[in-house]
Amino acid sequence: MARRSQGTKLHLAVLCLVVSCHAIGLSDLMERASQRSDQLPVLGMFSFSLDSHFPPMGRVMMPRPSMCHTSSLQTPKDKEQALRVSENELISLARSLLLAWNDPLLLLSSEAPTLPHPSNGDISSKIRELQDYSKSLGDGLDILVNKMGPSSQYISSIPFKGGDLGNDKTSRLINFHFLMSCFRRDSHKIDSFLKVLRCRATKMRPETC
Amino acid sequence: MMWRDVGVTLILSLILPVVAQGARHTPPGKPKLTSCRSPDKETFTCWWEAGSDGGRPTTYSLFYHKENSETVYECPDYHTAGANSCFFNKNETSIWVNYNITVVATNALGNNFSDPVDVDVVYIVQPHTPENVTVGVLEDEDGPFLRVSWEPPRKADTRSGWITLIYELRVKLEEAEEWEEHRAGQQKMFNNFSLHSGGVYMVQVRCKPDHGFWSEWSTASYVKVPDYIPRERSMWILIAVFSAFIFLILTWIITLNRSSVKHCLLPPVPGPKIKGFDQQLLKKGKPEEVFNSLVVQSFPPRSTDYEDLLVEYLEVYVNEKQELMPEGKDLRDVGCLESKSQSDNDSGRGSCDSHTLLMEKCGGVESKDESSYEEPELLQGQAGSWERLERGDSQVVDTPDSSDARVKTWPLVFSPSIHGSSDNHHYGTLEMPKQHSTSEITYSVPDHLFPTSTSFPHHHHPEYRDSLGEYSEYRHSRSPSTGVLYHWEAQHHPQAHSNFNIRNLERQKEATGFGLPPSRSMEYVEVQKVNQNQLVLKPLSSHGRGPSQVQFGRAVVDYSKVNGVNNDNVLLLQRQREMAEAGQYCDYREKEGAEAERYPTQQQGKTTKDGPVATQLQESTCLTTSGYVDTVPTMPTF
């Protein structure tokens, strides 16, 4: 409901820009983007409510988070670093991360229905919702970079090499869980970057930050 | 020796467990990391709980390593956050990095590792409580409200956007049990309305990062809402003052117009006013004078007074013997007349045929030539134009002297309300009957001229009976020699029927046997034909209601004024101009005999018991106005 309205807002923003309408300012776009990105981690959290069904052994054999395919992307590690990053880079990072997850989400959505989990139906719908949000956010960010200038349009390409989740039940579950954890973190990163960006862009309304 | 050994062994065996008990040491129990929290997403603290210490002093140490490296670090700060805690400062805190933390409990005998915990700082953010919570009561037009404001916790860096906090507050009256919670979003101020005056409120605030944990509630802030007069009460006071003001104004207005209000509310009872009544005289105690003064010289009205009123009328003279026109004063004559009415079909008009019209008077009735002439006098006076018909031969009914026979055309008097319904309007228009209830003669009076005064002497109340059949009795005394006696029964008509009414009344009183319906309106009799000495009046009813009604409806006047008599045989009728249809006078002659057969046969057929005796009157197309010889039957022919 709220998410969809935000999606529509972004779509409207897109339309507006297409027809050279400058009614929506940068700050508004940022606001909406950050609102949208705010939802990503929430959505990403759902899988962790299903922890009970994951085999305990999975913890040991769980791949390390450093094995996320997006770990190759250099991102700020703390607040000082993050605040030192330029806006262009921030937006670039956000977009790169977002783009990096298009393929994995596709994989997850295709694997979810057959996942050996009692609530794979819920999982499947959540994955689809995630995809929608990612798509709309990506579109909004594209509009944003058009306003920000060409130097902000650089996107790092992060390939995803994971073919499938595995063959046996356990490994599939574990890999699924692992991918979702990677996504959750990256969604947090995107959200933080955009919010920092928003605060920097809206200098006239410091109370929002 | 042996005994010494046993003793030592015994003692040792007793002491040893005790000693051993105290000296049992085990490696410490397994510690457990309870929680790690970061208040600002820049530092974080972890707490653990110790297991059993194993009897030895145990030390705890925390080791961690980050996800990407295997380098194990130890907690840099064990003290800042209290016992069994580890505080990671900014330099050591990385975000979006998994920390694998393990606590080790160590004592002399060994150590014990806790289970490792993976911690990512970004997921464990729980800020401190908001600070500087201020609560105040403010006023606006709707009333007092509570304004709460606060600041983010000092450590949280919201200005750079590193942390985004959303706030929540809760309010309750001090004595209340349940809190009222409100989300404040990212704003740092909140207004709460609908307060209880005079109460003490408690307010608390807390916050949460966009993805994290809620902080603790801030310490309660108390605020007292001052007593205030509720707006409703002040409004009522205003209303009361306003209405009192209005009331005062109204009272003042009424006082000013005292008299007129009094007049309106308590209308004065009209006192009797008798013209000429002199109260002073009465006071003086001379009633005779008082009453004498009441005598009005002008009463009864003289004929001269009415000259202007009446237009024309037939004046019928009654010979002495036959008082066709009863004296006004002698109402009984009317009754008598009625009884003795000749058979004559009067068409209710009281056809002014003098002789025939006039009713025969009872025996008691003297020939009242004079009196009978009074009427004509009156009539004349009223109408102003008397027409006198003189007949050569006197009717039996009428004056014996034919020569004296006069027919007074009466102005239309009788209302043509044949139906028996008192048609006021009709009367009004006709006005005749009421006013002139001259005996047998209907006065034809112009409507407007017809005075409503009942002063008209009821001397002669010709009885005209509506021969329409309404009346049970139709009297017509018919005598070939005598005139036609017209019975004309006047319908009971209030007021206007002065004459006739009276007659009716009289009739009713005296001649109940007549069976005349009291409420009969006046009907006029139609002149059917004129005999030599008679004027045959045809009852109106005979020709049915319809036409008569029609006649009445249209033509106010069904009567035709008799202009004169020709050759003693012809009745010259004059048409009244009041006629609706006929606006002009036209003279028409009546011819006696067959010539004047103008009456529609149907009419004849409908005649009542007594058919028309005399020759029918022939009428021209012109119809006269009221008060004249009824030409109703002829009307349809027109």
By DSSP bridging, strand B200-209 and strand B389-390 are unpaired
> When comparing pLDDT for B602 and A15, which is higher?
A15
* Residue that is last in its domain, among B161, B195, B230: B230
E strands in B446-539: 525-530, 535-539
CA distances, B236 to each of B229, B240, B241, B243 (Å): 11, 6, 9, 10
Same domain, B107 and B161: no
Which domain CATH number covers B147? Answer: 2.60.40.10
Confirm whether B23 is domain-assigned. no
Rg (CA), chain A: 18
Same domain, B142 and B108: no
Query: Does the CB of A188 have a partner CB in chain B at under 8 Å?
Result: yes
Same domain, B164 and B84: no
* pLDDT at site A158: 86
Q: Is the dihedral of CA B374, B380, B382, B383 positive or negative?
A: positive
Same domain, B52 and B87: yes
Closest chain B residue to the Cα of A199, Cα to Cα:
B161
Q: Hey, are the CB atoms on B161 and A200 less than 8 Å from each other?
A: yes
* pLDDT at site B112: 87
By DSSP bridging, strand B180-185 and strand B189-192 are unpaired
Same domain, B145 and B82: no
Confirm whether B317 is domain-assigned. no
3-state class of B206 per DSSP? strand
Please tell me the total count of domains within chain B.
2
Confirm whether B167 is domain-assigned. yes
* pLDDT at site B233: 72
By DSSP bridging, strand B386-387 and strand B313-315 are parallel
All residues at 6 or more sequence positions from B240 whose CB lies less than 8 Å from its CB, including other chains: none
Q: Hey, are the CB atoms on A65 and B67 less than 8 Å from each other?
A: yes
Confirm whether B189 is domain-assigned. yes
Q: Residues A20-64: pLDDT tens digits?
A: 445 567 777 888 888 888 888 877 776 666 555 555 554 556 677
Q: CB-hemisphere CA count at 13 Å for B31? A: 30
Q: Is the pLDDT of residue A120 over 50?
A: yes
Confirm whether B86 is domain-assigned. yes
Instruction: State the Cα torsion B436-B439-B440-B443 to the nearest 10°.
Output: -20
Same domain, B224 and B195: yes
Confirm whether B614 is domain-assigned. no
* pLDDT at site B358: 47
Chain B positions contacting chain A at CB under 8 Å are 41-42, 67-68, 90, 93-98, 120, 122-123, 157-162, 164, 186-188, 210-211
Same domain, B177 and B203: yes
Preferred mutation among B157, B164, B165, B208 to probe A, highest tally of A CBs within 10 A:
B164
Q: Is the dihedral of CA B443, B554, B356, B532 positive or negative?
A: positive
Phi-psi region of B173 (alpha: psi -120 to 50; beta: other; left: phi over 0): beta
Q: Hey, are the CB atoms on A207 and B96 less than 8 Å from each other?
A: no
Domains of chain A and any CATH numbers: 26-208 (1.20.1250.10)
Q: Hey, are the CB atoms on A199 and B159 less than 8 Å from each other?
A: yes
Q: Whole-angstrom Cα distance, residue A8 to residue B209?
A: 26
3-state class of B4 per DSSP? helix
Same domain, B135 and B221: yes
Preferred mutation among B160, B163, B166, B189 to probe A, highest tally of A CBs within 10 A:
B160
Instruction: Tell me the shortest Cα–Cα distance from B95 to chain A, in angstroms.
Output: 5
Q: Give me the domain span that covers residue B67.
A: 32-120
Instruction: Tell me the shortest Cα–Cα distance from A67 to chain B, in angstroms.
Output: 9
CA distances, B571 to each of B392, B404, B530, B581, B629 (Å): 12, 15, 8, 22, 10
Q: Do you know the residue count of chain A?
A: 209
* pLDDT at site B262: 84
Instruction: Tell me the shortest Cα–Cα distance from A23 to chain B, in angstroms.
Output: 25
Residue B404 near residue B390, CB atoms below 8 Å: yes
Q: Whole-angstrom Cα distance, residue A77 to residue B196?
A: 51
Q: Hey, are the CB atoms on B122 and A188 less than 8 Å from each other?
A: yes
* Residue that is last in its domain, among B210, B230, B250: B230
Smallest Cβ distance to B95: which of A42, A65, A77?
A77
Q: With CA atoms as reference, report the closest residue to A74 among A83, A64, A82.
A: A82
* Residue that is last in its domain, among B185, B204, B230: B230
Same domain, B107 and B158: no
Which residues on adjacent β-strands are paired with residue B59? B106
Q: Whole-angstrom Cα distance, residue B77 to residue B86?
A: 6
Closest chain A residue to the Cα of B164, Cα to Cα:
A209
Q: With CA atoms as reference, report the closest residue to B434 among B336, B540, B424.
A: B424
pLDDT averaged over 10-residue windows placed end to end, chain B, 638 residues: 83 69 70 92 92 80 89 91 90 90 88 88 93 89 87 89 92 91 91 84 93 92 80 82 96 89 82 68 69 66 60 64 47 44 48 48 43 40 40 40 42 41 40 41 41 41 41 40 39 42 44 44 57 58 42 48 64 53 43 41 42 42 45 46
By DSSP bridging, strand B570-574 and strand B389-390 are unpaired
Q: Hey, are the CB atoms on A192 and B122 less than 8 Å from each other?
A: yes
DSSP B123: G
Smallest Cβ distance to A77: which of B97, B123, B158?
B97
* pLDDT at site B441: 40
Same domain, B36 and B64: yes
The dihedrals phi and psi of B313, each to the nearest 5 degrees, come to -155, 160
Confirm whether B404 is domain-assigned. no
Confirm whether B225 is domain-assigned. yes
